[in-house]
Amino acid sequence: MQTLTIDWDHPTDPRQSRERDHVRDYVTTGGLDGHLWHGVPTLLLTTLDRATGLTSRTPLIYVEDGGRHIVLAAHWGAPEHPAWYRNLTAHPEVRLQVGAAVFQATARTARPVEREVYWPAMTALWPLFDDYQVAASPREIPLVIITS
């Protein structure tokens, strides 16, 4: 049986220039520039692409609770889940950068009761998440819990 070697240190960054610039600033400054985006905390999530075996990195707004990081697969209210979410459902091992800290973690979709608890915290931080949910309907935006 062949062991999968994952290159967590050389992920692909977003294609869109504003997201790519955000990620590059975040990484090069150790989170000093980029951790706060429009006044809200963001992290960098690196996932393994389920088709290619390559890694990619995505900036996401998060809430922290007891060492767990909570994010939403909002995809700006698009009708389909974002690629990073589809990737972590196939391979839940991820890498996070939160400020200067970089570490391996495991991601999973929140259970309904967890979603009820954390959705208000996410929308308090970024109220547009409610609008994204309306736009995404009938897709329910997944809430993701990441633990190290």
The dihedral region occupied by 31, where left means phi > 0, alpha psi between -120 and 50, and beta the remainder, is: left
Q: At 117, list the tokens.
A: 């608890």
- pTM of the predicted model as reported, rounded to 2 decimal places: 0.94
Q: In CATH, what number is assigned to the domain containing residue 126?
A: 2.30.110.10
Evaluate whether residue 11 is within a structural domain. Answer: no
Evaluate whether residue 43 is within a structural domain. Answer: yes
Evaluate whether residue 37 is within a structural domain. Answer: yes
C-alpha torsion sign, points 55, 109, 82, 24: negative
Cross-strand partners of 42: 61
Q: Nearest 5°: CA angle at 24, between 73 and 66?
A: 45
C-alpha torsion sign, points 90, 92, 97, 98: positive
The confidence score (pLDDT) of residue 74 equals 96
Domain extent for 40: 17-147
The pLDDT tens digits for 101-148 are 999 999 999 999 999 999 999 999 999 999 999 999 999 999 999 999
The pLDDT tens digits for 20-79 are 999 999 999 999 999 999 999 999 999 999 888 899 999 999 999 999 999 999 999 999
C-alpha torsion sign, points 17, 78, 135, 37: negative
- The total domain count for the chain is 1
Evaluate whether residue 96 is within a structural domain. Answer: yes
Evaluate whether residue 98 is within a structural domain. Answer: yes
